[in-house]
Structure 1
Amino acid sequence: MVERIFSDILKLKLEELCTLVKMLEDRFPSNIAANISQSSNTSQNTVSNISRSISLIECGPNKIAVIKLIKDITGLGLLASKKLVDSLPQVIKDSVDDKEFSIIESKFTSLGCKVK
């Protein structure tokens, strides 16, 4: 069934695909989408040293770059990433090890953001 749905999605025109993405983003709040993404990543990658969450407290002066960074880190769409930035403070990523935490933290701080 999932493969059939995926096959049907591949047949959509770009405009139809954009409409579908917007409908999904509107239907599923950004926190739920992030949690689903995190659950999927955690179940596929068993990491023994998972202990931290990274939260974005303040956006800083370059909002567009922050939205793009959140999109890259979480896998969310642009609209969901923008909603996340507009409703700070928010958890960006759960269950990260110390190495990943420091990498993500440095990316945000280089944009002038405050993270915790």
Structure 2
Amino acid sequence: MALDTANIIEQLKGASILELNDLVHAIEEEFGVTAAAPVAAAGAAGGAEEAKSSFDVELTSAGTEKVKVIKIVKEATGASLLDAKKTVDGAPVVLKEGLSEDEANELKAKLEEVGATVTLK
């Protein structure tokens, strides 16, 4: 069966970040591979650095869809609506700490989808 590469690329262009994230996870599970970049060897010491296992999600900016960002922050943190608003108003602020890579990327994708600027630390 021949793949229609151009058609696949066009479909991917129209997908949301969350849909692409789900696709990557499905491919990883189906084929037993990982999309993570390999860890580079350390410079002068010659030892390999350990891969980061926990991540902090920092809201850098709420963007133009502040209400949507507040709703996502409320859901993600379990905070009240008022506390979520205060958190978003206080950006840049760390929203959640110690998340797995998948959890951090999922929250980041949700926030970026509504226009927020997010960094993982």
Structure 1 equivalent of residue 116 of structure 2:
113
Partner in structure 1 of residue 90 of structure 2: 87
Please list the CA deviations of residues 11-41 of structure 1 after superposition, one character each: whole Å capped at 9, or x if unmatched: xxxxxxxxxxxxxxxxxxxxxxxxxxxxxxx
> Which fold has the larger relative contact order, with Cα–Cα distance below 8 Å and residues 6 or more apart in sequence?
1
The CA deviation at 1:51 is: 1.2
The alignment status of 1:68 with 2:79, answered yes or no, reads no
Q: Unaligned 5+ residue runs, structure 2?
A: 1-51
Point out the structure with the larger helix share. Answer: 1
**Which protein shows a greater Rg?**
2
- How many Å separate the matches in 2 of 1:68 and 1:99? 20
Offset at residue 108 of structure 1 (A): 0.6
Instruction: Please give the secondary structure, in 2, of the residue aligned with 1:61.
Output: coil
TM-score normalised to the size of structure 2? 0.54
**What is the TM-score normalised by the length of structure 1?**
0.56
- Cα distance between partner residues in 2 of 1:102 and 1:68: 18
- State the partner residue of 1:57: 60
Matched residue, 2:106? 103
Superposed CA RMSD: 1.2
Number of corresponding residues: 68
Q: Offset of 1:50 from its aligned partner?
A: 4.7
**Is there any run of 5+ residues in structure 1 with no aligned partner, and where?**
1-48
Percent pairwise identity:
34
